């Protein structure tokens, strides 16, 4: 996990975060002393969350691959809890829910740690998908059955399966890029987090046409296009972190950004359906784990597969 890129990255990220924090503090003192400016407050909240993400990731990296796997297992647990708190369930689902939290989740991360790609890539989409409804059905209660097992599976796919592809990036075997998987995680997380904010900024200044008017007025096609362009630029600028050529890094940045943005929109629709504003209350007013990581969750498996298909040598 050592190397010049890694220390550059670490110093760079914390320097930028310090600058961002100072900038936000100034903006706050100037525009929002009473917390009245929504834009400034939103930015300050995001920067606070970035500090937490960067600190946790840096600490986990000290523990090597095991540390990162454990960190994402814990994040998955917190996210799955937020998700399944809002889904439909009945008493008959008790053992299916227990299995989701205490069997499927740990086994998935254990498989990722042991680098058994052929099993962890199908464990939840095939085996959990087929066997969890069996646990529910042997307890009876056919009311809303499809909705119950469907929502349970959805929670597992997003909060465990998708999330586990972030630490899985560490075990990709790329020639000339051994044990530098952490840099790929940084590439993914930095681009998704920054472009989510840039989308917001683009929409605020140039946004005209909402992507999903019934869902959110603050997400516009102008914002999405601007953010994807910014993501491509960011990807090209960060190519030195990756095994990609600059043009490929730009393309990757654009794909990650688009997937993250639309993923966040999908998660918003679920929140709206369930009648909540946020997934959780990790910190008052700033939402929960899923609110902060929805884009990363969607982008992670796609990023993983693209790298796996085009850069991993058999």
Partner 1 sequence: MAIIGRMRAALTGALTGALARLVGNAIALFTRFLTAARVNWIGTEPIPRQRLYFANHTSNADFVLLWTALPAALRARTRPVAAADYWLKSRLRAFAGRDVFRAVLIDRNPETRTEDPVALMCKAVDEGASLILFPEGKRNMGPERLLAFKTGLYHFARARPEIDLVPTWLQNLNHVMPKGEVVPVPLICSVSFGAPLHLAPGEDKAAFLARAHAALLALADQVEAPDERR
Contact between 272 and partner 1 by CB under 8 A: the answer reads no
Query: Which residue, 101 or 129, is less far from partner 1 as judged by CB?
Result: 101
Residues 127-166 that bind partner 1 (CB under 8 A): none
**Site stretch for partner 1 (CB under 8 A), options 88-96, 185-193, 201-209, 230-238:** 88-96
Residue of 274, 278, 308, 312 that binds partner 1 (CB under 8 A): 274
**Site stretch for partner 1 (CB under 8 A), options 42-50, 180-188, 226-234, 275-283:** 275-283
Residues 25-54 that bind partner 1 (CB under 8 A): none
> Do 88 and 274 form a contact (C-beta atoms < 8 A)?
no
Query: Which run of H or E residues covers position 5?
Result: helix 4-31
| The 3-state secondary structure of 142-204, one letter per residue | CCCHHHHHHHHHHHHHHHHHHHHHHHHHHHCCECCCCCCHHHHHHHHHHHHHHHHHHHHHHHH
Residue of 81, 171, 179, 246 that binds partner 1 (CB under 8 A): 81
Contact between 283 and partner 1 by CB under 8 A: the answer reads no
Residue found by looking up tokens 């600058």 in the block: 19
Residue of 49, 68, 79, 97 that binds partner 1 (CB under 8 A): 97
Beta carbons within 8 Å of 221's beta carbon, 6+ residues apart = 208, 209, 210, 211
Query: Which residue, 91 or 208, is less far from partner 1 as judged by CB?
Result: 91
Residue of 275, 309, 313, 314 that binds partner 1 (CB under 8 A): 275
Residue of 32, 37, 42, 85 that binds partner 1 (CB under 8 A): 85
Contact between 89 and partner 1 by CB under 8 A: the answer reads yes
Beta carbons within 8 Å of 189's beta carbon, 6+ residues apart = 53, 57, 166, 296
Query: Which residue, 46 or 89, is less far from partner 1 as judged by CB?
Result: 89
> Do 293 and 259 form a contact (C-beta atoms < 8 A)?
no
- Residue 220's beta-bridge partner residues? 210
Q: SS3 for 219?
A: strand
Residue found by looking up tokens 């523990």 in the block: 63
Contact between 65 and partner 1 by CB under 8 A: the answer reads no
**Site stretch for partner 1 (CB under 8 A), options 73-81, 126-134, 197-205, 296-304:** 73-81
DSSP 3-state helix, strand, coil percentages of the chain (rounded to 5)?
A: 75, 5, 20
Write the burial class of residue 36 (CB in 10 Å: 0-12 exposed, 13-18 middle, 19+ buried).
exposed
Residue of 21, 51, 101, 117 that binds partner 1 (CB under 8 A): 101
* Residues at the site binding partner 1, with contacts judged by CB under 8 A: 77-78, 81-82, 84-86, 89, 91, 94, 97-98, 101-102, 274-276, 280-281
């Amino acid at each position: 996990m050592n190397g010049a890129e890694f220390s550059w990255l670490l110093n760079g990220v914390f320097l930028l975060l310090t600058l961002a924090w100072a900038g936000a503090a100034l903006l706050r003192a100037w525009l929002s002393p009473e917390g009245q400016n929504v834009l400034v407050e939103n930015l300050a909240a995001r920067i606070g969350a970035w500090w937490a993400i960067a600190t946790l990731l840096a600490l986990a990296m000290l523990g090597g691959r095991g540390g990162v796997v454990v960190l994402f297992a814990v994040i998955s647990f917190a996210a799955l809890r937020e998700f399944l708190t809002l889904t439909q369930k009945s008493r008959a689902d008790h053992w299916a829910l227990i299995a989701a939290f205490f069997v499927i989740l740990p086994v998935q991360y254990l498989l990722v740690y042991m680098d058994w790609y052929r099993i962890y890539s199908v464990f939840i989409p095939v085996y959990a998908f087929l066997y969890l409804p069996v646990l529910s059905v042997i307890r009876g209660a056919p009311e809303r059955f499809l909705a119950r097992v469907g929502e349970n599976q959805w929670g597992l796919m997003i909060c465990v399966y998708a999330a586990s592809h972030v630490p899985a990036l560490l075990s990709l075997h790329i020639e000339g890029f051994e044990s530098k998987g952490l840099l790929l995680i940084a590439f993914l997380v930095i681009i998704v987090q920054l472009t989510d904010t840039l989308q917001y900024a683009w929409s605020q200044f140039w946004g005209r046409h909402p992507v999903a008017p019934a869902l959110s007025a603050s997400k516009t096609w102008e914002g999405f296009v601007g953010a994807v362009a910014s993501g491509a630029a960011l990807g090209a600028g960060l190519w030195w972190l990756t095994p990609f050529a600059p043009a490929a890094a730009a393309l990757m940045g654009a794909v990650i950004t688009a997937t993250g943005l639309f993923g966040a929109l999908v998660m918003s629709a679920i929140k709206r359906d369930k009648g909540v504003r946020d997934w959780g209350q990790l910190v008052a007013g700033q939402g929960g784990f899923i609110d902060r990581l929805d884009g990363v969750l969607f982008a992670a498996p796609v990023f993983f597969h693209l790298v796996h298909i085009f850069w991993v040598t058999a």
